[in-house]
């Protein structure tokens, strides 16, 4: 038990003060610099603030704050690291991936394989992340934006963060648009609105990226698949035996979304795979 907690504490310390520290610091600084620029220019936020109409300025700042807090929650959260062998699941140990590939898809005794890097048993849908140096339950992808994996424990929070971030960006883009002032000459207009234009272009690009990310994740969640499974289906032992359009984890759009957003706990995906139920442990 002591070894488990020591490893967990080292993992969390690395998350907070590792290479991601600069990325997170840059994200926070950029967020508040853009927010400050929107307030300093002659935008509707500044006009409302000067006239004492504080509802929208306060709401905007609070929404920015919520997005930053969600960002830190997702980036520092344990995504589902596997730090010890799972003794609750009784599967055969020490089987290589090549041996596992020989098991027919209808067999009820699918064996867990040991990770070739951390030497721990990998439950179904988990994968070893080379960057984090841990296996992650229901691995989706490693996100350099948050410098953390997106997995079973933080995936829904990642989607929520994307939704809030998109709302902030679109609102910020609207605010920037209201701040452009008229000038009789192009050079004078650019000198007057150059900083706001740069912010507007940056926010527009970020909005497009976040919109595409959010849309793709909601689509994959509605199918109960992950980015890794979607991109590497032909190389994953428990999927490459299935047909092109067959997903053994798909329980229908409504149940997939409900399970993702509303059901808490660790799912035994081996049971779902064999349609034996999705009891939690």
Point out the residues that are catalytic. Answer: 143
Report phi then psi at 88, rounded to 5.
Answer: -80, -20
Neighbours of 215 (CB within 10 A): 12
String of DSSP letters for 45-99 = HHHHHHTT--HHHHHHHHHHHHHHHHHHHHHHS---EE-S--TTS----SB-HHH
Neighbours of 180 (CB within 10 A): 16
Q: How far, rounded to the nearest angstrom, does the alpha carbon of residue 33 sit from its chain's CA centroid?
A: 24
Please state, in angstroms and rounded to a whole number, the distance separating the CA atoms of residues 71 and 93: 37
Strand bridging mode 134-136 / 127-129: antiparallel
Please state, in angstroms and rounded to a whole number, the distance separating the CA atoms of residues 22 and 76: 14
Q: Coil, strand, or helix at residue 239? A: coil
String of DSSP letters for 2-59 = HHHHHHHHHHHHHHHHSTHHHHHHHHHHHHHHHHHHHHHSSSHHHHHHHTT--HHHHH
Angle at 209 between CA 203 and CA 214, to 5 degrees: 120
Sheet with 127-129, side-by-side order of all strands: 81-82, 134-136, 127-129
């Amino acid at each position: 038990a002591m070894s488990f907690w020591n490893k967990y504490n080292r993992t969390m310390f690395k998350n907070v003060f590792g290479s991601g520290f600069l990325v997170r610091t840059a994200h926070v600084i950029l967020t508040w610099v853009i927010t400050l620029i929107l307030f300093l220019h002659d935008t509707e936020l500044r006009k409302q603030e000067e006239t004492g109409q504080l509802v929208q300025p306060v709401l905007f700042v609070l929404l920015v704050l919520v997005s930053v807090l969600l960002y830190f929650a997702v980036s520092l959260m344990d995504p589902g690291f596997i730090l010890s062998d799972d003794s609750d699941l009784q599967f055969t140990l020490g089987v290589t991936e090549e041996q596992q590939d020989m098991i027919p898809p209808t067999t009820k005794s699918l064996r867990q394989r040991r990770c070739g890097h951390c030497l721990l048993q990998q439950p179904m849908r988990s994968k070893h992340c080379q960057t984090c140096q841990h296996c992650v339950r229901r691995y989706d992808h490693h996100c350099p934006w948050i410098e953390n994996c997106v997995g079973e424990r933080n995936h829904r929070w990642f989607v929520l963060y994307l939704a809030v971030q998109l709302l902030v960006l679109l609102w910020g883009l609207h605010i920037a648009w209201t701040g452009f002032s008229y000038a009789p000459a192009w050079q004078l207009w650019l000198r007057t609105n150059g900083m706001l234009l740069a912010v507007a272009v940056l926010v527009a690009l970020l909005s497009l990226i976040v919109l595409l990310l959010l849309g793709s994740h909601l689509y994959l969640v509605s199918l109960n698949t992950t980015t890794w499974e979607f991109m590497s289906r032909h190389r994953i032992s428990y999927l490459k035996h299935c047909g092109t359009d067959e997903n053994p984890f798909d329980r229908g759009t409504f149940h997939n979304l409900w399970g993702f957003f509303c059901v808490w706990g660790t799912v035994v995906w081996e049971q779902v795979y064999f349609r034996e139920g999705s009891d939690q442990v």
